[in-house]
Amino acid sequence: MERILVIGGVAAGLSAASRARRLAPDAQITVLERGPAAGYSACGLPWFLSRRVPRLEDLLAHPPEFFRERRRLDLRLGHEALEIEPARHRVRVRAPGGESWLPYDKLVLATGARSRCQPERGGELRNFFSANTWQQAAALDAALASGPLRRIAVVGAGYIGLETAEALAARGLRVTLVDAHASLLHGFDAELASELPPRLAAAGIELRSSTRVLGLAGARGGRVLGLATSAGEIEADAVVNCGGLAPAVELAARAGIALGRTGALAVDERQQTNLPGVYAAGDCAETRHRLTGAPAWVPLATAANQQGRVAGANAVAHRARFPGILAPLALPLFGLEWGRVGLSEPQALAAGLRPAAMQVTAGSRAAYLQPEPITLRLIYDAVSHRLLGCHFRGAPGTVAQRLDVAAIALAAAWKLEDLETLDLAYAPSLAPLYEPLVIAAHNALGAS
Amino acid sequence: MERILVIGGVAAGLSAASRARRLAPDAQITVLERGPAAGYSACGLPWFLSRRVPRLEDLLAHPPEFFRERRRLDLRLGHEALEIEPARHRVRVRAPGGESWLPYDKLVLATGARSRCQPERGGELRNFFSANTWQQAAALDAALASGPLRRIAVVGAGYIGLETAEALAARGLRVTLVDAHASLLHGFDAELASELPPRLAAAGIELRSSTRVLGLAGARGGRVLGLATSAGEIEADAVVNCGGLAPAVELAARAGIALGRTGALAVDERQQTNLPGVYAAGDCAETRHRLTGAPAWVPLATAANQQGRVAGANAVAHRARFPGILAPLALPLFGLEWGRVGLSEPQALAAGLRPAAMQVTAGSRAAYLQPEPITLRLIYDAVSHRLLGCHFRGAPGTVAQRLDVAAIALAAAWKLEDLETLDLAYAPSLAPLYEPLVIAAHNALGAS
């Protein structure tokens, strides 16, 4: 009986295990999760921090019993993999009851991501937090619920930092958001993102952009007093580190599993690493960008789960392949929706393409039914007219599925000309006669 | 100086004229519209009838002066083309001031659609209406506003009949909806549409399905007393005919312009008819279905406008082609949204394909944020796995753009396998981890 061992039980790991069970009813499948919970929605953590989702348990796709009983997975919480010995097909595991070696026939690594910058003493400080995992969010929430924390410094104005800042402000806290860059929401078109600062101000958030964090300020008695920055000290009752993520590859790298150019675990399209029978999926693994074929590392949940399914299928001798990512990201922030898919103009330039862009603002429905404005920046190759990417900003309810429309057009390798005469849905109250995306393609053709 | 004559000024006609102007700044462009208004949203008429759009003028994309002054179109309202003489390149026109012959170098026909069934004496009756045009809606509204009309019989439960019935019920009228078929919303999947009858009842609409209209009942003093049907007489203070549309081709057919298999004007992909220099676009013209290449006639506004642009470009010696339609239809009805794109199962069978279907009901966002259910029926070829069509039913705000996602996948000739590992946008409050469309593809692959 084949023994499948999966390290990591949040997203990709449980997807791999579930898929393997579906395809191999008799396999022995073990999932090691070092945290206290498996199969939860990490993207839902800001909703918990803002208290719009009352309990962390609400973020569970299923309770552990579901995975154990219905899917017959040997799901072990609080089990941390310490060492992989590929030559002997075994993993050393620290469990609540002690350490032991666990044998495997096939191994799936789904160790996820970790905070990129972790101050040396961060773990010892009682008011220094992150917000990427169940445990981290639980610790932050417990401190907020019990302590006299009023002023919170959030480090990093990428999308996780912005979501976290918004959530904490919604909870009534005084938030200062600190970021080294001049613009927010890195990776989004800077002009579209310029709408954010006034909205942060309206939400009561103090923004310190172009401000480099030099370190924690004045740690004393297990507590930090704030941040030391390039623009002076920022006092805070607590610091939340949202300063970006990196793939969690140390365990695998120590075992000789190769890293790719992005620093994540290198895999082929079957999610197999350089070691036969050892797969990697999700935020710890590198993937390819669909548009360029180039190695890419973009930690997003849908691709992580899909890679997990592919790894799980291949681990039980089925054949599945993951075709790469388009990296679509949609999120609600400060009363607007934001979306991005494909390449940004700098990314396209770096890939040797010749990006041009057409930006339009157009209505979400017929003009006589009070349309909401949608601003869209369509990026395309100036010579071949192939679509390269799309950035959106719009009212609530107007962006996420339009981003999917752009995603499919990108995945299908469409050109401006393919969009221009496409008959999309029109109904006065639901969609305009011409979708903003079609208008952008039309205008781009007129301009080119 | 090239003289372009366009017959019809609602949708395709004005698109053709505007596109021709853009590409040929010096052309002399004349648009004949027999009605009192040009460039209005016919799809908005139910919104006017329900009074949610207060004035018909609100439905104008632009006032006539805009087209005359900004676009320098010779737009003539109240001008009806009576006869085309292709050999002499001229059209006989009835205008308020009398009849005359108008010469042309290139002709664009955009005569639209008309009610398929028109009782002989309909035009003479003061309480018999249609709701497809500005004039018809104006007449119906005036009668409702001024007269003691309380009980309205609406004939036809296609989407226009349903929209009209809903609009009139919202206006406080007692509506009886009569249709010969057993199910509503023809062309939609019958099981999805089975949700409609209880919603009609909740809106106070009396539904008489499987009821054939035999004629108008007891016309007397210029008024009809109701409908004679296969299930007896239905008394009504007014009758609104929504019994389906047909292409308005009589003018062209008399001039020797060929019809296609569907009964609409046959055109090539440049929208040219069998007569060189004579183009047709919009609801009067036949087109091709993108998926089958077969002739199709589906009167929908976006394709009409796009065909108009293609015809207008070709009329001024540019080269443009229309690639055919996917016929996406989205509409809000009775508190839900409905959508359909591509082929239905009967259409696919008739086209010699081997349709199979996978129906799923899945959430519009993360489970912990009170998702709305979306029901989707994905139709695909059982052997090749190529996507053939998709039907949707969902809560407000959940369908139209998802229909566009399916439309692009269809236009790109995708298979189930292409959808299964596509990374679409996910954000807990905006879109679920797996889109219903991706779940349907996954389930279909599991089942096949």
CA distance A414 to A441: 11
Closest chain B C-alpha to A407 CA, distance in angstroms? 7
In the prediction, which pLDDT does A186 show?
Answer: 85
Q: Side by side, which strands form the sheet with B98-103? A: B80-85, B90-95, B98-103
Terminal Cα-to-Cα distance of chain A (whole angstroms): 62
Residue among B19, B310, B387, B408 with most chain A CBs within 10 A, to mutate: B408
| Predicted-complex ipTM score | 0.95
In the prediction, which pLDDT does B122 show?
Answer: 60
Query: pLDDT tier at A218 (50, 70, 90 boundaries)?
Result: confident
Tokens of B406: 């399916």
In the prediction, which pLDDT does B158 show?
Answer: 92
Asked, for residue A187, whether it belongs to a domain, the answer is: yes
Sequence-distant (≥ 6) Cβ neighbours of residue B350 within 8 angstroms: none
In the prediction, which pLDDT does A400 show?
Answer: 97
Query: pLDDT tier at B120 (50, 70, 90 boundaries)?
Result: low
Tokens of B223: 């008024």
Instruction: Find the mean pLDDT for residues B162-186.
Output: 95
Residue among B401, B414, B438 with most chain A CBs within 10 A, to mutate: B401
Asked, for residue A59, whether it belongs to a domain, the answer is: yes
Check pLDDT > 90 for residue A119: no
What are the tens digits of pLDDT across the range A386-404?
A: 999 999 999 999 999 999 9
CB A309 within 8 A of CB A363: no
Asked, for residue B44, whether it belongs to a domain, the answer is: yes
Closest chain B C-alpha to A396 CA, distance in angstroms? 9
Closest chain B C-alpha to A160 CA, distance in angstroms? 12
**A170 plus A279 within the same structural domain:** no
Asked, for residue A321, whether it belongs to a domain, the answer is: no
User: What CATH number is attached to the domain comprising B370?
Assistant: 3.50.50.60
**A23 plus A103 within the same structural domain:** yes
CA distance A196 to A164: 15
Q: Which structural domain range is residue A266 located in?
A: 3-113+247-315
In the prediction, which pLDDT does A122 show?
Answer: 60
Amino acid symbol at B222 = G
- Say if A333 is an interface residue toward chain B (CB within 8 Å): no
Alpha helical stretches, state H, A300-380: 301-315, 345-350
In the prediction, which pLDDT does A244 show?
Answer: 84
**A102 plus A201 within the same structural domain:** no
Return the residue matching tokens 């052309």. B27
**A80 plus A140 within the same structural domain:** no
Q: How far is CA B276 from CA A297, B20, B107, B261, B267, in A?
A: 56, 17, 9, 20, 11
Check pLDDT > 80 for residue A124: no
CA distance A312 to A318: 9
**A355 plus A425 within the same structural domain:** yes
What are the tens digits of pLDDT across the range A296-343?
A: 999 999 999 999 999 999 999 999 999 999 999 999 999 999 999 999
**B185 plus B220 within the same structural domain:** yes
Query: pLDDT tier at A121 (50, 70, 90 boundaries)?
Result: low
Window 348-407 of A, Cβ < 8 Å to B:
366-369, 397, 399-405, 407
In the prediction, which pLDDT does A147 show?
Answer: 76
Per the CB < 8 Å rule, is B327 touching A423?
yes
What are the tens digits of pLDDT across the range A143-175?
A: 999 878 999 999 999 999 999 999 999 999 999
Write down the mean pLDDT value for chain B.
95
What are the tens digits of pLDDT across the range A417-438?
A: 999 888 899 999 999 999 999 9
Check pLDDT > 90 for residue B429: yes
The residues facing B390 across adjacent strands are B341, B378
**A254 plus A279 within the same structural domain:** yes
Nearest residue in B to A411, CA atom: B422
Give counts: helices (H), strands (E), chain B. Answer: 13, 25
Check pLDDT > 70 for residue B211: yes
Asked, for residue A162, whether it belongs to a domain, the answer is: yes
Asked, for residue B42, whether it belongs to a domain, the answer is: yes
Instruction: Find the mean pLDDT for residues B78-101.
Output: 97
In the prediction, which pLDDT does A148 show?
Answer: 86
- What percent of chain A lies above the pLDDT cut of 90? 90
Burial (Cβ within 10 Å: 0-12, 13-18, ≥19) of residue A151: middle
Query: pLDDT tier at A123 (50, 70, 90 boundaries)?
Result: low
**A284 is an active site residue:** no
- Say if A422 is an interface residue toward chain B (CB within 8 Å): yes
**Of A183, A212, A243, at which residue does a domain stop?**
A243
CB B131 within 8 A of CB B137: yes
Beta strands in A43-97 (DSSP E): 74-77, 80-85, 90-95
A122 or A57, higher pLDDT: A57
Query: pLDDT tier at B123 (50, 70, 90 boundaries)?
Result: low
Asked, for residue A342, whether it belongs to a domain, the answer is: yes
CB B270 within 8 A of CB B310: yes
Check pLDDT > 80 for residue A448: no
**A296 plus A264 within the same structural domain:** yes
Per the CB < 8 Å rule, is B402 touching A397?
no
Q: Count of domains in chain B?
A: 3
Per the CB < 8 Å rule, is B421 touching A310?
yes
Backbone phi and psi for residue A159, each to the nearest 5 degrees, phi listed first: -70, -30
Instruction: Find the mean pLDDT for residues B120-138.
Output: 85
What are the tens digits of pLDDT across the range B330-380?
A: 999 999 999 999 999 999 999 999 999 999 999 999 999 999 999 999 999
Check pLDDT > 90 for residue A222: no
Query: pLDDT tier at A126 (50, 70, 90 boundaries)?
Result: confident
Asked, for residue A140, whether it belongs to a domain, the answer is: yes
CB A208 within 8 A of CB A221: no
Query: pLDDT tier at B121 (50, 70, 90 boundaries)?
Result: low
A414 or B420, higher pLDDT: A414
Check pLDDT > 70 for residue B33: yes
**A181 plus A87 within the same structural domain:** no
**Of A218, A243, A268, at which residue does a domain stop?**
A243
**A87 plus A131 within the same structural domain:** no
Window 206-235 of A, Cβ < 8 Å to B:
none
CB B416 within 8 A of CB B388: no
Sequence-distant (≥ 6) Cβ neighbours of residue B370 within 8 angstroms: none
